[in-house]
Chain A
Amino acid sequence: MSKNSVSPATRLPSGWDERYDVLVVGGGNAALCAAITARNAGSKVLVLEGAPKFYRGGNTRHTRNLRCAHDEANEVLTGPYSEDEFWDDLMRVTGGQTNEELARHTISESRELWDWMNEQGVRFQPPLGGTLSLGRTNAFFLGGGRAMLNALYLRAEKLGVDIVYDAMVTDLEIEDGHFNSATVEVDGTSHTIRAATLVTAAGGFEANIDWLKEYWGERAGNFLIRGTPYNKGSILRLLLDRGVEPVGDPTQCHAVAIDARSPQFDGGIVTRLDCVIFGVVVNNECVRFYDEGEDFWPKRYAIWGRLVADQPDQTAYIIIDSKAISLVMPSVYPAIEAGSIGELAGKLGLSAERLEATVADYNASVQPGDFDPNTLDDCHTEGLEPPKTHWARTIDEPPFYGYPVRPGITFTYLGTRVDKQARILMTDGKPSANMYAAGEIMAGNVLGKGYIAGIGMTIGAVFGRIAGREAAKHARN
């Protein structure tokens, strides 16, 4: 792409057939944290990233922030955010579906992340007005996840970690829970890589539609994948097939409702819509199916993916009017605009009659109240099923706006079971001698269901560092 940039490493480094101490599969946050830590501990480290250089770092490219516990405010976090509070937040979203030991360990280790990331050259953004309601609990990467990754890659390269792009690992030779070698496709040829230890940080399987269909049925064909197309779960599959103990419910994932016009893969953060709480959401029969005003959008964001997945054609429509449009984030695809509800229905491909009836029913049930987008206000409906419990205002001021939405899968929770040393556990309950897992591939240990913003990166960085440290220790012995 660029005439002078360092030629992308799509070839194995010379000397690759010597034995590595630590082989890291994947190239995101978890992988890089592991590689840097292992290299700092003196190991010879190889990172195999399946994606081309531009797409390096999988879903990490799309992230924005990292959740970390801390005792007092610093340059980027208003504070404090105690471990207990973090734990409470996690309990609330998972409803207790978490491994307490691992979760508490993650939370306590998260305290070190901010400093550690800074040392690696990752830069954070001072809290800016407006956007950062998460400024207390989450540290925001300056320039976003790709900037953060660029810093980690730069650091890893400087330390002498070998990195190969376009290097899909296609097989793992595992004997009685012991890793011997990996097969990797580089430049159309297969190579066998031997290493003393293996760190798997290859993400979930959300980009593997066929695999998703095993649990969701044919409707998974209508799902949009918000992140990288490279997380096909191939490593997870290999591990599970070779006697690794699974963790997590395969149907659990982070799924939000995103603009239906988004690309099937890699649309990233821009496809989100935050207008649900200000309008009504109907399916393609023009029927409402859930309380749009249940809670603040960021808090209820993650349930709408599943709700929409249960609707016919896995599609729904958010309808708002001109009162609401200025309250919501600008969207990447323009709202579909019309002068009347009937006209809007036509543009959205819905029945005008039915949409008009649904909106009229809703409008008739709206009670007077003091509208306030910043609190759970008292604007609600009465006699409507399902009700809208907050921010209910009549939809009657043209122009009217509509957004079609679809389920957008962020990441999956089925993964490999691990212990506190990030060692992969085998189905017999014993830890593998030399295999470790970090990040999305094992996030299900901590996140049984639900999601709290920024915890994906926390789990990846905490377990990445542990895996790197433990793998290096094991390789030395």
Chain B
Amino acid sequence: MHATDALAEADRQMTICNACRYCEGLCAVFPAMEKHRTFADGDLNYLANLCHSCGACYQDCQFSTPHEFAVDVPRTLAKVRNDSYKTYAWPGFLAGLFDRNGLAISIVAALGVAAFILGFIAFNDADQLFAVHQGEGAFYRLMPHNAMIILFGAAFAYAILALCMGCRAFWRDSNAVNAVIGDGRVSIWQAMKDASTLRYLDGGGVGCINEDERPTDNRRLYHHLTFYGFLLCFGATSMGTIYHYVFGWQAPYPWWDIPPMLGKVGGVGLVIGTVGLLAAKWRRDPALVDESKRGMDTAFLVMLFLTAATGLALHGLRSTPAMGMMLAIHLGVVFSLFLTMPYGKFVHGIYRFAALTRYAMSNRHGFAKPGASSSDS
């Protein structure tokens, strides 16, 4: 009936939860689940992507292992969620990349970095790579701006296309069973608020359950630093582009200017955030983790960390002979980050946002719950 064992197991557990409903106040997953009587694959993928993996429902569940019902919603949904990235990947033949994510990403990253170093050498010569370059346009003496734009523009455009196609498939599938008519705009705004505050990563209010039954808010804090750090870095790049095309000012900019400031603050946020998330991951109770896909999470965090760390290093070393090498490494890392985005953990943000939007829509639309009777004693 279900495409995978993980989906069948999620169905089994959601059926128990649906008869229990004790967790309905913890996050969006449970109220969303209550709107179903049976669970199709698309429903389960939708529910899985609504889960923020805060772990609360595992610690709160009277039926977790060693109980014979063996309910472990966070781990089960993590499995389904991780599989769902593969299910909806575009183009389909690249879906397999998710399975060997850590390895694939390191290879792409290594190749990317190597390509940039070689590219610099090809544009100039080896000596230039280690020479001191300063002042406006210093970067472009190593690689012409247009070359950069073409390369990154293409990688970025590809990433966006692949992400959009995946999201479209996810959206259709999660809607297939219960079409939702609703106010799209309002729901998207609601989803933006829910996603940007990580509303459901709070264990229903006390924080996330990570290494033991004592909740903390660390994962949310580190996730915020990572997410907003990433946005600031992205903002730095966008500002740079505007400076370049609108005002004709060429990078590198003085340290106090907007793009480097955004980049620095964002970079520091990213470094602290990713290290914090990696540490939390390391300490996390294995009962909450989909071990089989641990590499995917780690690879993505490491890539983000490297992006930020090499960016900061580039900024620090830009007046030294190391600048050329740092620029090559940084651009290589960023390039591979873009390329691998649609086939790694990055997609969780996209699908989660889509799921939150669908949730907001269905709330506005107001499905009736099957059997809304009181459930006591």
Contact = CB atoms under 8 A, between A and B. Distances in A.
Partners in one complex: yes
Interface of A: 1-6, 54, 61-65, 121, 123, 125-126, 128-134, 138, 140-147, 150, 154, 254, 256, 263, 266, 268-272, 274, 297-298, 301, 326-332, 410, 451, 453-454, 456
B371 A143 contact: no
A13 B5 CA distance: 44
Contacts of B25: 125-126, 128, 140, 142-143
B374 A134 contact: yes
A4 B212 contact: yes
Given A3-B286, A301-B377, A332-B16, 12 more contacts: A5-B211, A54-B64, A54-B66, A63-B377, A123-B206, A133-B374, A134-B376, A143-B25, A144-B20, A145-B22, A150-B60, A330-B19
Contacts of A326: 37, 370-371
A2 B376 contact: no
B19 A270 contact: yes
Given A62-B62, A130-B369, A142-B205, A329 B375 contact: yes
B375 A2 contact: no
B137 interface: no
A269 B22 contact: yes
Contacts of B65: 1
Contacts of A140: 25
Contacts of B31: 128
Nearest to A153: B213
8 contacts: A54-B67, A64-B377, A123-B205, A146-B59, A150-B213, A269-B20, A274-B373, A453-B377
Q: A interface, by DSSP: helix, strand, loop or mixed? A: loop
Contact of B287 (A2, A134, A268): A2
A142 B66 contact: no
Contacts of A143: 22-23, 25-26, 56-57, 60, 204
Q: Count chain A CB atoms within 10 A of each CB in B24, B26, B62 and give the residue with the most.
A: B62
Nearest to B211: A4
B338 to A, nearest CB: 36
Interface in B201-229: 204-206, 211-214
Contacts of A268: 20, 62-63
A301 B377 CA distance: 10
Nearest to B20: A270
Nearest to B38: A330
B1 interface: no
A147 B211 contact: no
Contacts of B370: 326, 328-330
Contacts of B2: none
Contacts of A123: 204-206
B285 A4 contact: yes
A454 B19 contact: no
Contact of B24 (A62, A128, A138): A128
Contacts of B127: none
B59 A330 contact: no
A318 to B, nearest CB: 14
A132 B374 contact: yes
Given A61-B62, A329-B370, A131 B21 contact: yes
A298 B19 CA distance: 15
B59 A147 contact: yes
Q: Count chain A CB atoms within 10 A of each CB in B24, B37, B285 and give the residue with the most.
A: B24
A64 B60 contact: no
B15 interface: yes
A2 B286 CA distance: 6
A454 B373 CA distance: 16
B55 to A, nearest CB: 11
Nearest to A147: B60
A130 B372 contact: yes
Contact of A298 (B15, B20, B64, B373): B373
Contacts of B19: 269-272, 329-332
10 tightest A-B CB contacts, nearest first? A144-B22, A329-B371, A143-B60, A130-B372, A125-B25, A5-B212, A147-B60, A453-B376, A2-B285, A270-B19
Interface string B357-377: 000000000000111111111
B78 to A, nearest CB: 16
A301 B373 CA distance: 12
A144 B62 contact: yes
Contacts of B375: 64, 131, 269, 272, 329
A177 B377 CA distance: 35
Contacts of A63: 377
Contacts of A453: 374, 376-377
A145 to B, nearest CB: 7
A4 B280 CA distance: 12
Contacts of B57: 143
B283 interface: yes
B68 interface: yes
Given A1-B287, A126-B25, A128-B25, A266 B377 contact: no
